[in-house]
Amino acid sequence: MTHAYPTPDTPLKIGTRGSPLALAQAYETRARLMAAFDLPEGAFAIVAIKTTGDDRSLIDADRPLKEIGNKGLFTKEIEEAMLNGHIDIAVHSMKDMPTEQPDGLVLDCYLPREDVRDAFVSRHAASLADLPAGAVVGTSSLRRKAQLLNRRPDLKVVEFRGNVQTRLSKLDNGVADCTFLAMAGLNRLNMADVASSAIAPEDMLPAIAQGAIGIEWRQSDDRITEMLAQLHDTPTGQRLAAERAFLAGLDGSCETPIAGLAVIDGGEIWLRGEILRPDGSDRLSDEGRAPLADAALLGQELAARLRARAPAGFFDWH
Ligand SMILES: NCc1[nH]cc(CCC(=O)O)c1CC(=O)O
């Protein structure tokens, strides 16, 4: 008994950002840990950490995030808190995570993936096809912007930031005719009803790792390593291995116009990927299949094939 961990006296400290979605993801992680190890809620402490990206006084809310400097904007303080022992694990939206982690930290535990699709959100249109010519789309995602303009060059895209509530009130105020959000986030906030429709991956290929929650921890922490190995969802891990290797092979991040989705199909991994010019004027896509054990290799190969096909200047988003 003396080695039992975690307990209400020595709780496992779960670090997260403080946004409603981040907290919902932390609660889901806690619930899964409680169920997997038959632990009481009191054996966990949820620690909300403010990051540079969250701090409104540090950034101008109307400036695109990519101009402010993206990598680590939402993770630096959380990773520092883990390295100095203030928290034990960190819960992240995998879609926002760089493909490399700082020394001493691992990010290899994934919860079962949620809906991967993007949601179309509008007060008056039922779907993308319903939007009249020249309609205004609010989004701050370079991927969504490029995908939309590629299909519908007539649309006008305006910068849209802030949490779900802020974006919905912008729609009410007529700032835009529609916006796009991940179905996963809406589901986790019990707000799926704000989606007018969910968009099929064939119509809008999702962001790398969309809908997946990842848990990061200190490599040196053997107790946590053992627990998280049991919590890990293997199929989600295989799918993200393919998608994240694809992203890494293109030197991409969540701020680049890259989309990709891997699914397990007939016992194999099937990966589709696409890269776009930021203005949507060009789109290159490809797909491939491989045995599950070669998921990461498949991602690398798909990235290499698209790189070889991309004309000079295509990657000027860097
Ligand atoms: N970059 C913001 C972000 N990161 C993860 C999600 C949603 C949840 C997910 O995809 O796991 C969102 C918001 C959105 O795209 O609507």
Q: What is the mean pLDDT of the chain?
A: 92
Asked if the ipTM is above 0.90, the reply is yes
Res 65: pLDDT = 52
Q: Is the CB of 96 under 6 A from ligand 1?
A: yes
Confidence label for 1 from pLDDT (cuts 50, 70 and 90)? very low
- Torsion sign, CA atoms 149, 152, 153, 158: negative
Record the pTM: 0.93
Ligand 1 atom closest to the CA of 116, numbered from 1: 10
Ligand 1 atom closest to the CA of 119, numbered from 1: 16
Confidence label for 254 from pLDDT (cuts 50, 70 and 90)? low
- The predicted-structure confidence for 268-279, as pLDDT tens digits, reads as follows 999 999 999 999
More confident residue, 148 or 63: 148
Assess whether 128 and 71 both reside in one domain: no
Assess whether 21 and 82 both reside in one domain: yes
Say if residue 119's pLDDT is above 70: yes
The token pair at 108 is: 């290899």
CATH number for the domain spanning 158: value is 3.40.190.10
Q: Is the CB of 210 under 6 A from ligand 1?
A: yes
* Rounded Cα–Cα distance for residues 146 and 282 (Å): 9
Assess whether 45 and 100 both reside in one domain: yes
Say if residue 302's pLDDT is above 80: yes
Residue 29 lies in a domain: yes
Say if residue 60's pLDDT is above 70: no
Which residue range(s) make up the domain with 278? 243-309
C-beta separation of 249 from 302 below 8 A? yes
Side-chain half-sphere exposure of 273, counting CA atoms within 13 A: 31
Mean pLDDT to the nearest integer, 43-51: 95
Say if residue 21's pLDDT is above 90: yes
Residue 152 lies in a domain: yes
- The predicted-structure confidence for 169-201, as pLDDT tens digits, reads as follows 999 999 999 999 999 999 999 999 999 999 999
- The predicted-structure confidence for 203-243, as pLDDT tens digits, reads as follows 999 999 999 999 999 999 999 999 999 999 999 999 999 99
- The count of structural domains within the chain is 3
